[in-house]
Amino acid sequence: MSEQKDEIVEELETEELDEQVKVTTEEVEKVEEVVEVDELTLVKQQLEEEQNKAIRLRADFENYKRRVQLDKEADYKYRAQSVLSDILPVLDNFERALAVETTTEEAASLAKGVEMVYRSLLDAVSKEGLEQIEAEGVPFDPNFHQAVMQEKDDTKDSGIVLQELQKGYKLTDRILRPSMVKVNE
Residuewise pLDDT in 10s, the chain (185 residues): 566 666 776 776 777 777 776 767 777 677 666 667 777 888 889 999 999 999 999 999 999 999 999 999 888 878 888 899 999 999 999 999 999 988 899 999 999 999 999 999 999 999 999 999 999 999 999 999 999 999 998 888 999 999 999 999 999 889 999 999 999 98
Residues 54 and 133 occupy one common structural domain:
no
What's residue 27's pLDDT?
Answer: 72
Question: For residue 114, with 0-12 CB atoms within 10 Å meaning exposed, 13-18 middle and 19 or more buried, which class applies?
Answer: middle
- Cβ(171)–Cβ(129) below 8 Å: yes
**Residues 6-42 as b or e (16 or more Cβ within 10 Å = b):** eeeeeeeeeeeeeeeeeeeeeeeeeeeeeeeeeeeee
- 90 and 69 in a single domain? The answer is no
Cα→Cα distances 118→68, 87, 113, 121, Å: 38, 12, 9, 5
Range of the domain at 144: 81-184
Instruction: Name the domain boundary from 77, 95, 130.
Output: 77
The domain tally of the chain equals: 2
Based on the fold, state whether residues 106 and 28 are members of the same structural domain. no
> Can you give the CATH number for the domain in which 124 is found?
2.30.22.10
| 161: number of Cβ within 10 Å | 22
Instruction: State the pLDDT at residue 61.
Output: 93
Same domain, 91 and 178: yes
Q: Are 83 and 127 in contact (CB under 8 A)?
A: no
